[in-house]
Amino acid sequence: MESEPSSPPSITRQEPDGSLYLQARKGMTIWLLRPLSGSYTLSFERTILTSSPSCRLSDMNFFWAAHEQNNALPHIRDGALASYNNLILLYAGIGGNTNTTTRFRWYDGSGKRQLLQESTQEKDLLQAGHTYHITLTVSKETTTFLIDGKTVFSQTSTPAPAGYFGIRTVGSCQKLNNFTLLLD
C-alpha cells in the first residue's frame, strides 16, 4: 500500500467476510504485485461506503499496464497522484473530483496525462452504497473497461510491455470483493 501521510493514518484490513476494506484519508494506491502482459481479464466488486463523515463519495480509480520507463515494477511512491506522473500507464477515474468527473487517461511517462475520454453525466458518476461489478479486459488490440456489464471506456492500443494493476482512491472508504484474474 502506498498512502499519503495523514493523521489518523489510512487503513486497509481484511474483513471477516473475506473482503478488503480501504479507508483512505488522502491518496492511496494498492498494487497487484504481479506483472500482467498479453491478454487478461480482471474482475471484482467495489463498493463506495459513506457511513461516516470521513467516507466521502469519490474516487473509484484504477491504474493498469503501469511500469517505469525501463519496464520495471513501479518503485514505491508517496500515494499522492502527482507522484505517478512519470509512470507509463492507463488510468480510469470514476467519480473523481468529489464525484463530478469520470475520466480515462494515458500517462506517457513524461508527466503528461493525456485525456482519452471524459464524462460529467450523472449516469457515469458514483452512487453511495452501490456494489460495482468491474471488468477490465486487455487484449492485443483493445483495452475495455466495464462497470456493471456496461462498457465505460474502450481503447484500441498496441500491445504494452508487462505492467502492473493498481486500485486507487482519495479520501474515501471502499470495500473490494471477489477478485479474479484470468490469463489467456
160 has pLDDT over 80: no
72-104 as b/e, with b when 16 or more CB fall inside 10 Å? Answer: eebeebebbbebbbebbbbbbbbbbeebeebbb
pLDDT of 117 > 80? The answer is yes
The tens digit of pLDDT for each residue in 88-97 reads 999 999 999 9
pLDDT at 53: 79
Instruction: Specify whether the backbone of 61 is left (phi greater than 0), alpha (psi in -120 to 50) or beta.
Output: beta
How deeply is 182 buried, as exposed, middle or buried, from its count of CB atoms within 10 A (0-12, 13-18, 19+)? exposed
Q: Which of 73-87, 133-147, 151-165 has the lowest mean pLDDT?
A: 151-165
Residue type, 47: T
Per residue in 126-145, pLDDT (tens digit) is 999 999 999 999 998 899 99
Domain ranges of the chain: 2-35+49-131+161-183
Look up the pTM and report it: 0.94
Q: For residue 158, is pLDDT > 80?
A: no
